[in-house]
């Protein structure tokens, strides 16, 4: 009996040790995909809908980008900007939430002068309202042009949590890129959307970090020793950011700045959400108009 219990405890501790080792350090894969296509120093804008989006959904990416631990090419050290399109005043706490966002971005490392929050009548926090793509584009445009933004990061069309304000953002960014093209702006930014994963994968906590690292390692092994090409024709290279324990603690400290939002279910979220640990991105790629051939095509595919 003693030996059986000893073996069980040994297996348990071994499993915990393996899990701890798997999640202790950060990992990133294909991060250069965010930067390629431009000789300029990357200028990356995170576009969010509400205060606390930055730490609830995007912290694994921000903590890596702002650590400058991406590579040895100093020309590729990104400058990171943040634009939040509302003060999150659905409950009348707009002024409080503006201050909370500032403190959160301090923790994450986004510099003052590179972060903004808007309070416009057509972009109000509302869980039942989709924002106008034109309103989003008009609000976003001056920040993109004046700061020479090369890459925009935002939600995908599912919005992670299905919040209509989140879901509106990629439509607004697409509208902006179309308008920049019409105005013959020389450098339109690239756009990446945070991938919404199925519900079954959303709430497995630090296990999501271990699984993501295993997936990256397995893919690398296939490319190294198998028949899988490193960049298959037509296949998108997916930038992946996996937080380690230190990065998770930073995200948690950032969330703690949002005291008005720390209700019981958000404690469950920060404990179990995949997005506190893993971010995977998919580029929204422009489709070139074939005007000469008279062939209409969608403005963008994803």
pTM, two decimal places = 0.85
More confident residue, 96 or 226: 96
CA distance 198 to 192: 19
For 9-39, how does the pLDDT look when each residue is reduced to its tens digit (9 = 90+)? 545 444 444 545 455 688 888 888 888 666 5
Q: How confident is the model at residue 300 (pLDDT cuts 50, 70, 90)?
A: very low
Task: Tally Cβ neighbours within 10 Å of residue 221.
Answer: 11
**Is 71 a residue whose pLDDT tops 60?**
no
In a domain, residue 293? The reply is: no
**117-121 long-range contacts, CB within 8 A, separation 24+:** 117/51, 117/83, 117/84, 117/86, 117/87, 118/83, 118/84, 118/85, 118/86, 118/87, 119/86, 119/87, 119/89, 119/94, 120/85, 120/86
What are the tokens at 291?
Answer: 């005007």
For strands 151-155 and 115-117, give the pairing. unpaired
DSSP state string for 169-194: HHHHHHHHHHHHHHTT-S-PPEEEEE
In a domain, residue 88? The reply is: yes
Q: What is the mean pLDDT of residues 67-93?
A: 81
What are the tokens at 221?
Answer: 């092994």
In a domain, residue 20? The reply is: no
For 192-247, how does the pLDDT look when each residue is reduced to its tens digit (9 = 90+)? 999 999 999 999 999 999 999 888 877 777 766 666 555 554 456 789 999 999 99
In a domain, residue 254? The reply is: yes
In a domain, residue 208? The reply is: yes
**Is 289 a residue whose pLDDT tops 90?**
no
205: domain CATH number is 3.40.50.10320
Domains held by the chain: number: 1
What are the tokens at 287?
Answer: 């489709």
For strands 79-84 and 43-48, give the pairing. parallel
In a domain, residue 299? The reply is: no
In a domain, residue 19? The reply is: no
What are the tokens at 101?
Answer: 């966002």
Please report, rounded to a whole number, the percentage of residues in the chain having pLDDT higher than 90. 63
More confident residue, 89 or 226: 89
CA distance 47 to 50: 10
In a domain, residue 94? The reply is: yes
CA 52, distance to chain mean position in Å, is 13
**Residue 95 — φ and ψ, nearest 5°?**
-65, -40
Q: How confident is the model at residue 296 (pLDDT cuts 50, 70, 90)?
A: very low
Q: How confident is the model at residue 294 (pLDDT cuts 50, 70, 90)?
A: very low
Enclosing domain of residue 226: 25-287
Helices (H) and strands (E) in the chain, counts: 11, 9
pLDDT of residue 219: 75
């Amino acid at each position: 009996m003693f030996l059986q219990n000893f073996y069980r405890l040994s297996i348990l501790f071994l499993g915990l040790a393996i899990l701890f080792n798997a999640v202790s350090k950060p990992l990133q894969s294909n991060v250069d995909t965010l930067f390629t296509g431009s000789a300029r120093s990357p200028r990356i804008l995170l576009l969010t809908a509400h205060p606390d989006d930055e730490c609830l959904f995007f912290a694994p990416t921000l903590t890596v980008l702002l650590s400058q631990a991406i590579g040895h090419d100093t020309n590729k050290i990104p400058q990171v900007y943040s634009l939040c399109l509302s003060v999150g005043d659905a409950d009348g706490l707009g002024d409080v939430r503006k201050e909370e966002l500032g403190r959160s971005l301090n923790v994450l490392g986004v510099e003052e002068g590179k972060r903004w929050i808007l309070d416009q009548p057509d972009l109000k926090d509302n869980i039942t309202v989709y924002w106008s793509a034109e309103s989003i584009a008009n609000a976003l445009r001056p920040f993109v042009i004046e700061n020479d933004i090369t890459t925009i990061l935002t939600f995908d069309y599912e919005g992670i949590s299905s919040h209509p304000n989140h879901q509106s953002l990629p439509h607004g960014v697409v509208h902006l890129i179309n308008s920049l093209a019409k105005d013959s702006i020389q450098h339109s930014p690239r756009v990446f959307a945070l991938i919404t994963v199925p519900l079954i994968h959303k709430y497995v906590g630090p296990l999501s970090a271990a699984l993501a690292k295993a997936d990256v390692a397995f893919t690398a092994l296939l490319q190294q020793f198998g028949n899988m090409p490193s960049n298959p024709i037509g296949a998108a290279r997916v930038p992946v950011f996996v937080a380690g324990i230190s990065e998770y603690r930073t995200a948690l400290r950032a969330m703690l700045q949002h005291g008005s939002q720390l209700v019981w279910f958000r404690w469950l979220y920060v404990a179990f959400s995949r997005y506190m640990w893993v971010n995977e991105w998919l580029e929204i790629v422009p489709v070139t108009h074939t005007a000469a051939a008279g062939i209409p095509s969608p403005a963008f595919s994803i």
